[in-house]
């Protein structure tokens, strides 16, 4: 190999190595995501237990829980959408348990056009069953709470809890409890965790293959010009 070919050959090898490492990293992430989804699904189907004294996301995310108490009149809305129904809101209510705790409850999806028809929650005894969740819907690009529309743009538990004067704990209902004709329950399931890592890995490997092919072609051109 001539000196003229060494630099592009090294460039090609380094680029291919970087792309391959990214593909391998995505494969590793795919394995981790499979474990996470399996753990999540195992928790989802478990028998509901009492609300832990001090729930934390790492240990109690997706934990099945049953609580008794009544809804407070306060509720708020999180911008959302549902396939086949278009834009709408997640209805987030404050729930007062029998032992005096106050938590968030995700009641489900409300179509946008029906928000004016939704009354305040009925203050009556209820038994609620669902799963604890600390959703990661909001990021640094998510708009701030809009007080004029009483609207959040992501289910970020701490701000929702502060707004409704509740613990930073959210119970996502498994079904409509109490049943309401306007609200469609959106229980937690494995589909809520995106798992695209295998597709990304294939893309990185194909890019590495294309990079190697381009490098070989470029070296062949250099050699052909020399000859």
Query: Rounded to two decimals, what is the model's pTM?
Result: 0.68
pLDDT at position 167, please? 95
pLDDT of the chain along its 227 residues, tens only? 566 777 777 888 888 889 888 888 887 777 777 777 777 776 767 788 899 999 988 888 889 999 999 999 999 999 998 887 789 999 999 999 999 999 999 999 999 988 988 888 877 888 999 999 998 777 778 889 999 999 999 999 999 999 999 999 999 998 766 667 888 888 887 555 566 777 888 888 889 888 888 888 888 887 777 76
Distance (Å, whole) CA 103 – CA 120: 17
Determine the pLDDT at residue 194. 60
Question: Could you count the other beta carbons within 10 Å of the beta carbon of residue 4?
Answer: 12
CA 185 to CA 109: how far, in whole Å? 6
Question: What are the residue boundaries of the structural domains of the chain, listed by start?
Answer: 3-40+195-226, 63-187
Position 195 scores a pLDDT of 62
pLDDT at position 105 is 95
The pLDDT of residue 132: 93
Question: Residue 131 and residue 135: Cα distance in Å, rounded?
Answer: 12
């Amino acid at each position: 190999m001539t000196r003229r070919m060494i630099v592009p050959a090294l460039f090609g090898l380094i680029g291919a190595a970087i792309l391959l490492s990214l593909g391998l990293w995505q494969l590793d992430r795919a394995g981790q995501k499979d474990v996470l989804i399996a753990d999540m699904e195992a928790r989802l189907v478990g028998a509901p237990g009492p609300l832990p004294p001090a729930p934390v996301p790492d240990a109690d995310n997706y934990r099945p829980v049953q609580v008794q108490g009544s809804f407070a009149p306060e509720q708020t809305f999180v911008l959302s959408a549902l396939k086949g129904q278009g834009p709408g809101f997640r209805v987030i209510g404050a729930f007062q348990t029998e032992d005096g705790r106050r938590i968030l409850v995700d009641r489900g999806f409300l179509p946008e056009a029906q928000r004016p028809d939704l009354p305040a929650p009925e203050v009556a005894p209820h038994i609620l069953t669902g799963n604890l969740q600390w959703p990661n819907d909001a990021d640094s690009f998510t708009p701030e709470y809009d007080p004029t529309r009483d609207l959040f743009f992501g289910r970020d538990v701490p701000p929702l809890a502060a707004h409704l004067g509740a613990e930073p704990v959210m119970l996502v209902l498994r079904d409509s409890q109490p049943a309401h004709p306007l609200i469609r329950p959106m229980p937690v399931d494995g589909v809520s965790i995106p798992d695209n890592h295998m597709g990304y890995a294939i893309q990185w490997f194909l890019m590495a293959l294309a990079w190697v092919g381009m490098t070989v072609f470029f070296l062949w051109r250099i050699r052909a010009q020399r000859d």
